[in-house]
Amino acid sequence: MAISDAPPTTAGRDAAVEKSKLQQHFGRADVFFFLVCTLVGIDGLGTLATEGGQGFTWLVVCTLLFAVPSAMLLAELGAAHTDEGGPYVWVRMAFGHLAGAVNNFFYWVTNPVWMGGTLVGTALGGLIVFLHGGEEYSRPVTYAFALVFIWAGVLFAVLSFRVGKWVATVGAVARFLLLGLFSVLVLLYGVENGFHGPSVGDYAPTFAGFVALVPLVLFSLVGFELPSSAGEEMTDAARDVPAGIAKSVVATGLLYAVPVLGILLVLPSDQASGLAGFPEAVRQSLTVLGGEVTTAADGTVTATLTPFSTAVGWVLGALVALVAFTSGLTWIMGSDRTLAVSCYDGAGPRWLGRFSARFGTPTRVNLLSGVISTAVFVAVTEITDGDIAKFFGVALSLAISTTLISYLGIFPAAWRLRRKLPDHPLPYRAPALGLLTVVSTAWIAFCTVQLLFPGLGIDWFGDDYRADGWAASERWVYLLTELVPLALFVAVAVGFWAAGRRQVDRADRPGGR
């Protein structure tokens, strides 16, 4: 059931016009590298390690009980329904245009929020640790870096998948290099200095750790559907999507588990901050190439590097920034397509649903993403008065909440479409679909509540649950920083849907166009 077959008639005609501009450049290997670049980020590695050994335990549990079930759901959807803008199309086909419009707006807006917030902070964190002696950059330098970071991403997103897929491939290779080198350094560091990680008992999972960590873990393990946003730019989506997802599940699990374990073994948990935990662990492990580690009276560990190990650190710092940059780029490339598709499908303003005839990309949405990213960066920087750690916590929580909310529509779509379209071919058929749907959706629903009200049911906004840099007395300020944007996003999404309906209705009336 192609999107162009669905009413209203004007949307079908508009879809045909825009689809004629698409270019096929997306093969099986490209899908795998794109997924690795999409799924494997480093912005949450330090935060996972702050909970000690149970951070690693919950990562393993979520990989097995969330990533694997949800990946099977998305493999069925991606192989069976291969229209451009896959995640939007699935929800719209399953639950209607309004549900598709609102859900898809959350799916899209996450990424400019994430790009202008968390990812800028992650890249800055790596550069601060390796290139600036641990001292934060001045406000003007921070702004200049953020603008280049954001708008370079927009530029690459505007270019065709023929170019963009190679950027994603470079990003995937950067992940293998960065995390592979870190794993080797950690092993050498442990052999030379001994491993001083958590005790065996610290790996035991607790409910408090579950509440604090699982939303971040789930955020790190979603995205298997993103290549399907370019379903009609693939050479063989029905074959390549399930294969790419299967390989990426294994790669993602390993690329997350090994670095988190490395941080735990090298860096004391009270220093593994969400912003700089991973870069600090890399810096400490670099002393095996030259340098020393000293411990102050208060327990603070400081790594001093030689010129050679410092030079290697510069390379790794650049890789940290590149990984953060390409994480945002792949998500922007995919989610911008879903928003453009929804707009030419009558669930948003038609002017946003334009693809470039030259590049085959949704340039207007790409530019809008850049504007939103820039606005988010400016707003959060000013709200937190330039406090990078506090900035990081707010932006990460908002990005996680908007992301997870969108999967409340995407995951149930597989179950709904299998019943709504019983005769539709299923190149890949997920086993026990009902159970997979319940399990995947339940994880998301619980974590969404905990993101808005950290620690609710145990100790709302208590010491063990609130983000870095926030005081217990600021719980209502924190809540407003989450609820106000979410309410605004819902209002804008409904407004998009209403604008799209009006345009379609007007055009379908006699003499309307």
Whether the CB-CB separation of 397 and 451 falls below 8 Å is answered with yes
Burial class (CB in 10 A: 0-12, 13-18, 19+), 188: middle
- Angle between helix axes 363-383 and 139-158 (nearest 10 degrees) is 160
What does residue 237 show for φ and ψ, rounded to 5 degrees? Answer: -60, -40
Q: Token pair 């009413």 is at which residue?
A: 7
Who's near 21: CB < 8 A, 6+ residues apart?
A: 355, 356, 357, 360
Q: Where are the beta strands (DSSP E) in 191-325?
A: 291-295, 301-305
Cβ-count burial 401-431 (b if 16+ within 10 Å, e if not): bbbbbbbebbbbbbbbbbeeeeeeebbbebe
- Residue 404: closest CA among 245, 258, 219: 219
Whether the CB-CB separation of 337 and 362 falls below 8 Å is answered with yes
Neighbours of 204 (CB within 10 A): 12
Q: Peptide bond before 8: cis, by omega within 30 degrees of 0? A: yes
Both tokens of 262, joined, read: 């490395």
Distance CA 327, CA 252 (A): 13
Distance CA 36, CA 27 (A): 15
* Amino acid at site 159: L
Predicted pLDDT at 4: 40
* Amino acid at site 256: Y
User: pLDDT by residue for the chain (513 residues), tens digit each?
Assistant: 444 444 445 567 777 888 888 877 788 888 999 999 989 887 666 666 666 788 889 999 999 999 999 999 999 999 999 999 999 999 999 999 899 999 999 999 888 888 887 788 778 877 777 776 667 778 888 899 999 999 999 999 998 777 877 888 999 999 999 888 888 888 888 788 777 667 778 888 888 778 778 888 888 899 999 999 988 989 899 999 999 999 999 999 988 888 888 777 766 555 444 444 577 778 888 888 888 877 776 666 677 888 898 888 888 888 888 988 898 889 999 999 999 999 999 888 989 999 998 888 999 999 999 999 999 888 877 766 655 555 555 666 677 778 889 999 999 999 999 999 999 999 999 999 999 999 999 999 988 888 788 888 788 887 777 766 677 788 888 788 778 888 888 999 999 999 988 877 666 555 544
Compute CA distances 10 → 5, 86, 278, 345, whole Å: 11, 20, 51, 8
Both tokens of 401, joined, read: 């909440």
Predicted pLDDT at 461: 82
Distance CA 38, CA 35 (A): 5
Distance CA 101, CA 89 (A): 10
CATH superfamily, domain 24-505, is: Amino acid/polyamine transporter I (1.20.1740.10)
Predicted pLDDT at 73: 96
Who's near 509: CB < 8 A, 6+ residues apart?
A: none
Predicted pLDDT at 274: 42
Distance CA 204, CA 197 (A): 14
DSSP state of 66: I
- Residue 274: closest CA among 143, 125, 376, 380: 125
Distance CA 321, CA 315 (A): 10
Both tokens of 398, joined, read: 């908002």
Both tokens of 426, joined, read: 């299923």
Neighbours of 459 (CB within 10 A): 15
Burial class (CB in 10 A: 0-12, 13-18, 19+), 510: exposed
Predicted pLDDT at 125: 76
Who's near 45: CB < 8 A, 6+ residues apart?
A: 256, 259, 260, 263, 277, 278
Count of helices and strands (H, E) across the chain: 18, 2
Q: What angle do CA 94, 98, 99 make, to 5 degrees?
A: 45
- Residue 87: closest CA among 371, 376, 372, 408: 408
DSSP state of 297: T
Whether the CB-CB separation of 267 and 284 falls below 8 Å is answered with yes
